[in-house]
Chain A
Amino acid sequence: MIETEAEKKTKKVYGEVYIDRERCKGCSFCVEFCPPRCLELDKAYNAKGYHPPVLARPDECNGCDLCGLYCPDFSIFAVMVKKDGRGVS
């Protein structure tokens, strides 16, 4: 989904994604099933030769953590963060 700059300014909650690049096996579930499609496979390799994901469009991440739920290797998860820096439970 594409937001206008005005919408982005008023958004109170966004997502932060944490990726364990070396644990990832490049299966692409997270990329495929991220609803706003803000993940992409990195062109770079990790040590094992897999392409881990990167958060290509961080502004669009809403912290739903579907990527975390899909990951078979527990190497990605997202948290919802309030714009003032405090986390969302």
Chain B
Amino acid sequence: MHADPSGVLTGKHYLDGNHAACEGALAAGCRFAAGYPITPSTEIVERVAARFPFMGGTFIQMEDEIAASIAIQGAVWAGKKAMTVTSGPGFSLMMEHIGLAAITETPCVFFNVQRGGPSTGLPTLPGQADMMQARWGSHGDYEIIALSPQSPQECFNIAIDAFNLAEQWRVPVLVMMDECVGHMTERVIIPKAETIEVTERRWTKKKPSDYKPFEPGPDLVPDMAKAGDGYHLFVTGLTHDERGYPVMNWQAQEKLVHRLVNKIRLATDKIVRFEEEDIEGADVVVVSYGITARVARRGAELARQKGVKVGRLRLVVVWPFPEKRILELASKVQAFVVPEMNYGQMVLEVERAAKGKTNVVCVPHGGGEVHDPQVIADAIIRAAKRSS
């Protein structure tokens, strides 16, 4: 179905990533947001607070991120699309509730505008060091979907994708931005509402007497209901059966975890998204995401000027990770070069997926600034030399 026009600011704009992300959420139909101020993400909720009153949305600045991350889940079960916004320290606080959203299969969106960490770190400067935390941060076994935009335009587009993926797969979806993308101002084109595809919630067609809130469909995703419609919902964070009733034994645990995990893992091919450039015949492929992908493009250019055949693979959906494609390329290329604004996180996935078939080179960075493209270029050149 198409976007509700009341939330779509059609036109050509000059916006920073944070503002664009807000507009994307509004276009996707988000009408509840709870947040807590934290640099460099605050502009997203500031804009939401200003825009919501004109489209029947409610924004509340909660007392902490723990409250924000669960208030949105209450709003989802009341029937709305909901989101929260944070950065590193708040992201850590939200971990328990990401797990809650995963086990209760509550579709909601978390924006993390990453900054230098750990702890209070570098509040006003970029980082990409929460990538593994996005995947593994909460306790227990679960799956999430995470995306990484590289421009304000993509912040808008990916925000819509995030809400759509959340509704389709009934998972929490994380938009892993960074301070650079969040605070850079670029042209953002917002199309007409009728051209924006928005995924409706998978409302059940069953009557309350037949409906089980956690009974999966063929894609392993259950249909949803909301409070107030007579469904006698029972939503609990305890391990539960298809009725939502807690069951405290290993069989129920196995059944539930198996489905929650496979819901995403078996659908990986449908969910992954990446962009490739100059992959054909490449000797070295640069794997990157977010703002680093733009820097890596320059780095690849510089390396190409020195005669290296460089290709680029940009992760748009970061989790689930495109293992298949990496494995495929691993037998064709001499090296993967993985620059990221952290001390080696997604590179571990590239290593794992490559299964030792090729070199994997990490180009780490403590954060606070984007890479110097020359550093990436040098790593590419070295990787090419080593392999020849």
Q: Are A and B in contact, CB atoms below 8 Å, in the complex?
A: no
